[in-house]
Structure formats: C-alpha cells, structure tokens
Structure 1
Amino acid sequence: MKPLNWATLGCGVIANELATALARQNRHLYSVANRTHEKAVAFAEKYQIAKVYDHLEDVFTDPDVDIIYISTPHNTHIQYLRQALANGKHVLCEKSITLNSNELDEAIALAEKNHVILAEAMTIFHMPIYRKLAEIISFGTLGPLRLIQVNFGSYKEYDMNNRFFNRNLAGGAMLDIGVYALSLIRWFFVETADQVLSQVKYAPTGVDEQAGILLMNPAGEMATVTLSLHAKQPKRATIAFDKGYIEIFEYPRAMEATITYTGDGHKETISAGETADALSYEVADMEAAVCSGDLSTIESLMHLNYSQDVMHIMTEIRNNWGMKYPEEE
C-alpha cells in the first residue's frame, strides 16, 4: 500500500511538529495550505514540500490528498471541516476540535455521510504512557477509581490582543488548556460526567481567564480541575483509587508516572513513550485507523467518542456561564 498523503492546513507550531514527525520517517508532507500564501511557500521550502496551493480551498478538492491536518485557530475549524469532509478527506483536527457540541455533531454527521474518519488531535489519546496506565488499572490491583485532581496553569503575557485572550479568535482557558484536563479525566473515568459545577474569572476581553470545575459521573467517580492563563501551575494530575494513586507530571505529553500503593507505601515508576514523539504517535494512530476500515479499531485508536463527551461538558459549562463567541451569537 502506498504511503498516505498528508496535507497541512496551517503553518504554525503544530504544523512544524507534524512535518518533523514525518521527516523522522524519511517522509514529507504532500502539500500545504494557508490563509497567507507567502507563509505556505516559506513553510514548503523549509520542509521540502512539493505542493503549495494558490488558494487555500484547493486542498479540499485535491484528489491526491488522503488526510488533512487542520491546525488553524479553533473558531475556523468548522468551516474547514465542512469542506474537507464533504470532499471525502480524512481529517485530524487540532484541539479544540470545534467551538461547541452543535458544530462537532454536524462534523461527525458529515464524516459518517462521506465515509471518512474525523478525529481530534488530542495527544492524551495517543501517548503510550496513558495506554500503559489504562492497562495497569484494568488488572484491578488499584481497586475502583475515586477521585481525579488536575491542574493546568499557563502564564501568558497580559496582552488582550493575543489569541489567548482574544474573543474573536475563540480565546480563553477552557478551549486552550481546559480541553486537555477534561480529556485526561475522560480517559480515566469509566463513563462521562453527568454532574458539572464551575466558577469562572473573566479577562477584560470577556473570555475565561481562570476557572474551577467539579465533575461527577453516574459511577460516583469525581474530579476537580483548576485552569489559568495568567498563573503558572505544574501540569499535574493525581488519579486516586481505593488502594493507591497515580501521579502524572507534565501532562499532556507525559512519558512517566508514579504509582503509590497506599497499603504499604511502596512506589512504582511507569515509563512509556517520548515527549518529543507526540505528533508521531498521532500520525501512526491516524494512519492505522484509515488503513483498518474497521469501526471498532478506529474508535479504539482515535476516541472521537471521548472528544464528544469533553466537548459536551465544555459547551455546557460555557452555556452556564453565558459566555459566547461571536460565531455563536
């Protein structure tokens, strides 16, 4: 089978990581599209990409493109998803995959109608450490899950024009970093949360600068989340069970975790994967999903159902806050 052709829509940090991930396999991106043509040309020269589109929309109709990686600002995702999926392209879309649940439901329906794969580029679903921890948990030695605590705090310069605080670019903590915290929780929860409480502090632009979230699912598993765009916190998660707890540092791209067994206090260090290979794991899973053609295999690799659950929670929280982006008004 010939190698799958990847196109990147966007030339930012993630697109550079994608190009680097393919280069490690002695491969190149097939093509590049960008709203600013000059940036696409420069990106193509940097990574020896043969094809640059004069018009961004041409990527959707190129018959030689198999998979499009979308890494533009998340308020643009749905307009590009509509075109890519309608033209029969598989799509791996940067988080947050859409602005809200309605957009995601629309995109999923389009993917199903056109028999293509849609997935969110959520690194937690692909890094080996999380799969290894899930396997350990499945053995039952830790007992049932009780509580998850997740922190994610970034310190962004208090510039209301940058994308993190810009309402016109769907800025705010929830869609930028909260999606990681909630995806980690969904990975370990046996089922999605059905009870959600939250508090929010707004930036002067009206986007969420800081938030606290409480969750509980029907199984009685609970989680707490603290988010901030203007207060650095360790990227730390603690997953507490009946007979021990797991500590994960530097998530989402973690490669090590510590398990403490509370019965005798002994600790076990678990290692898997490499932080630098995060995009390589996403690429490998997406290609395996495309090649499999089996729905259960696709779900086990890409976890779009988890993305749906997380998007539903984020949408519910923002609805409760009454916080909308211009596209939602």
Structure 2
Amino acid sequence: MSTWGILGCGTIANEMAATFQKMGHEIYGVANRTPEKAEKFADKYGVKHVFETYEEMLADENIDIIYVATPHSMHYENMKQAVNAGKHILCEKAITVNVAQLEEVLELAEEKGVVVREAMTISHMPLYKKLKERIKEGAIGNTKMVQVNFGSNKGYDSTQRFFALEAAGGALLDIGVYATAFARTFLSEMPNTILTTVEYLETGADEQSGIIMKNTKGEMVVMCLTLRAKQPKRGVVTGDKGYIEVYEYPRACKATITNTATGEVETVEAGKTEDALKYEVEAMEAAIEGNLEDDCQIITKDTMRILTSIKTQWGMKYPFE
C-alpha cells in the first residue's frame, strides 16, 4: 500500500483525511505553513509525523504520494518541488492557474517517472462512466449541446482568497473548473471557438461570467458562473433524441435520461456521493501501479486549456503570473 503525505490542512484536506480513515489508510505525514494547525490535524486523524516544513516532508523517503491541498495559487510551486523529490502527486483543483504551468509540471513528471493527477471528482465518479456508455449506446442520439451552471453565494469578503486576485480568486478557477470539466466530459473533442463576457469584483477578480463554446463537430456549450448568487449545480447534455440531466454534478451518483420522442425517463445510478474522494484515492493508486486507463488526464489538460483561453480573452492576469 502506498504511503501518503498531506500538504495543507484546510477544509478539503480534513475531508480527505476522514476518507483515508474510512478506507483504513494510514496517513504518514502532514505539513502546513502554520505548524500549530498541522499538530491539531495530526492529533485529529492519527497522523504519525508532523513536518515543520514542506521540504522536510519531501525529504522523507517513506512517503510515496503527496496530496496537495493548498490554495490553487500555490499548486504549481508545490507540485514542482514534489516531482523533483520523486513523489507522485494527487493535486486539488484547479490543478494550476494556467495551462503553461500544467504542461511544465507534466513534462517534469514524465522525466522523473512519477504520476500527477488532479483530484477532480467528475473524472472519478462512477456515474459518468455509465452515462458515457449510455451515450455510446445511442440513449440521446448525437450530442448537440451541454448546458452547465455553477453559482455560489459565499458572502463577499475582499480578504478571503475566493475574492482576492493575488490568490487567483474568482469564479473561473474556484467553481468554473467543475463546470468546464463537466462540459468537456461530454464533448467528443476540444472546443475551437470560445465566446465570453465577464463582470469583475472590486478586487479585480472575476465575479461572474457567461461562456459559449463550440467545437468542429458542432457540439456547443453554454456555461454560467457566479460567486455572489446561488444557482443549482445542474448539468444538461442534449442530443437529437434525448437529454441527460444531472443535479449536484460535482459528486453526482444519479442522473435521468429523457427520450424526447416518447417522454420516457430512465434513471441512471452509480456510485455514492459520500465516496467521491475514495474514488480519487483508488484511481491514484491504480494509476501508480499501471492498472488504470481513464480520461482524467485528457479532461484535466483540456479543462485548463479552456480556462486559460477564457482568462486570456478577458485580459485578466494574476499578479504572480
């Protein structure tokens, strides 16, 4: 069994640590920029080693995989250090802030012979594999359009990283990464046309946006994102014979397929929402063993290409880019 180290002790790291406990996985070590927080984290989850620095954790030869749960503005540097130390990486989303960062990390990982994967739930939930199988079987005919929304109302605070430009805050990378990954999952190829408009926060980060995409097959995407207005997490995949509806799509275990000719509704279920992070861990370990073939890397790369293209059109840059 692989040995894991965790970098960062925020909300998602706590959720992952609870998942490890549920799976019977031991967490070998943890590091955090605030050592006191790491100590509390270790006490809570029975972590064996608390490292004072990230460098100290990377130097420990007993660790095989680093789970990177820091803010996404730090992922690029964190991953480069881990890859250079010969560690495999499971990194939270958004995996980087632009495609150039991602390509550099993946090229370095290939040189070092380590696996780097994004902890994107949509790429690992069993439901999506089943839905793609139903599409191949002709359940909705030829795919025509994907509509996907994500809106959260976090309560505006310019000091929080969600809204701070210097922390790569804004709707696009914080929540748009989910919507984009959902859309790309159901497209037969990358979009080659992207149209978009944006409204900015007072901090200069993006508050909300509308995005329309199309590929050479004529498949289209309509996407709406906002940080200060709640929307249902709803994804719809429409074909010429029917449509798929998925609610709470980031960790969905249930969807419906409606036949537009007959009105018949099929319910498709697979996996469990509460096991979302467990699927990520299992896939990561299988990938390291060479026992996994999935489209996670394709979705990760294309999602970051799309997000980078959108941000470039806006002319928005983070201060550290």
Q: Which residue of 2 aligns with 1:268?
A: 266
Which whole-Å CA distance do the structure 2 matches of 1:67 and 1:136 have between them?
34
Question: What secondary structure sits across from 1:199 in the alignment?
Answer: strand
Q: Which residue of 2 aligns with 1:67?
A: 65
Q: Which residue of 2 aligns with 1:98?
A: 96
Q: Which residue of 1 aligns with 2:208?
A: 210
Q: Which residue of 2 aligns with 1:40?
A: 38
**TM-score w.r.t. length of structure 1:** 0.96
2:137 to 136, 139, 159: 139
- Show CA shifts across 1:64-95 (max 9, x none): 11110101011111111111011111101100
| Superposition pairs of residues 4-19 of structure 1, within 5 angstroms | 4-19=2-17
Q: Which residue of 2 aligns with 1:289?
A: 287
Which whole-Å CA distance do the structure 1 matches of 2:201 and 2:76 have between them?
25
Which whole-Å CA distance do the structure 1 matches of 2:142 and 2:55 have between them?
49
- After TM superposition, give the deviation of residue 219 of structure 1 in Å: 1.1
Which whole-Å CA distance do the structure 2 matches of 1:158 and 1:221 have between them?
36
User: What letter corresponds to residue 38 of structure 2 in structure 1?
Assistant: A
Unaligned runs of 5+ in 2: none
1:246 to 244, 247, 257: 244
Q: Which residue of 2 aligns with 1:320?
A: 313
- After TM superposition, give the deviation of residue 136 of structure 1 in Å: 1.1
Question: What secondary structure sits across from 1:129 in the alignment?
Answer: helix
Which whole-Å CA distance do the structure 2 matches of 1:270 and 1:59 have between them?
43
Question: What secondary structure sits across from 1:278 in the alignment?
Answer: helix
Which whole-Å CA distance do the structure 1 matches of 2:289 and 2:8 have between them?
25
Q: Which residue of 2 aligns with 1:237?
A: 235
- After TM superposition, give the deviation of residue 149 of structure 1 in Å: 0.4
- After TM superposition, give the deviation of residue 253 of structure 1 in Å: 0.7
Which whole-Å CA distance do the structure 2 matches of 1:40 and 1:310 have between them?
32
* Alpha-carbon contact 2:141-2:241 (below 8 Å) kept: yes
**TM-score w.r.t. length of structure 2:** 0.98
- After TM superposition, give the deviation of residue 256 of structure 1 in Å: 0.7
- After TM superposition, give the deviation of residue 194 of structure 1 in Å: 0.9
* Alpha-carbon contact 1:289-1:301 (below 8 Å) kept: no
Which whole-Å CA distance do the structure 1 matches of 2:311 and 2:214 have between them?
18
User: What letter corresponds to residue 41 of structure 2 in structure 1?
Assistant: F
* Alpha-carbon contact 2:23-2:278 (below 8 Å) kept: no
Q: Which residue of 1 aligns with 2:298?
A: 305
- After TM superposition, give the deviation of residue 302 of structure 1 in Å: 6.0
- Show CA shifts across 1:46-79 (max 9, x none): 0001011122211222111111010101111111
Unaligned runs of 5+ in 1: none
| Superposition pairs of residues 68-83 of structure 1, within 5 angstroms | 68-83=66-81
- Show CA shifts across 1:111-147 (max 9, x none): 0000111111110000111111011111123211000
2:157 to 142, 156, 159: 159
- Show CA shifts across 1:193-233 (max 9, x none): 11101000000000000000000111110010000000000
- Tell me which moved more, 158-167 or 117-126: 158-167
Question: What secondary structure sits across from 2:249 in the alignment?
Answer: coil
- After TM superposition, give the deviation of residue 18 of structure 1 in Å: 1.1
* Alpha-carbon contact 1:85-1:110 (below 8 Å) kept: yes
Q: Which residue of 1 aligns with 2:105?
A: 107
Identity of aligned residues (%): 50
Which whole-Å CA distance do the structure 2 matches of 1:27 and 1:73 have between them?
24
* Alpha-carbon contact 1:286-1:301 (below 8 Å) kept: no
User: What letter corresponds to residue 313 of structure 2 in structure 1?
Assistant: N
Superposition RMSD in Å: 1.0
Q: Which residue of 2 aligns with 1:23?
A: 21
User: What letter corresponds to residue 218 of structure 1 in structure 2?
Assistant: T
- Show CA shifts across 1:14-58 (max 9, x none): 111111111112222111011111111110000001011122211
- After TM superposition, give the deviation of residue 308 of structure 1 in Å: 1.0
* Alpha-carbon contact 1:289-1:302 (below 8 Å) kept: no
Question: What secondary structure sits across from 1:301 in the alignment?
Answer: coil
Which whole-Å CA distance do the structure 2 matches of 1:135 and 1:68 have between them?
32
Deviation beyond 3 Å, 4+ runs, structure 1 = none
* Alpha-carbon contact 2:93-2:119 (below 8 Å) kept: yes
* Alpha-carbon contact 1:129-1:273 (below 8 Å) kept: yes
Q: Which residue of 2 aligns with 1:53?
A: 51
- Show CA shifts across 1:217-265 (max 9, x none): 1111001000000000000011001110000001111111011001100
* Alpha-carbon contact 1:119-1:302 (below 8 Å) kept: no
Question: What secondary structure sits across from 1:131 in the alignment?
Answer: helix
* Alpha-carbon contact 2:32-2:52 (below 8 Å) kept: no
User: What letter corresponds to residue 306 of structure 2 in structure 1?
Assistant: I
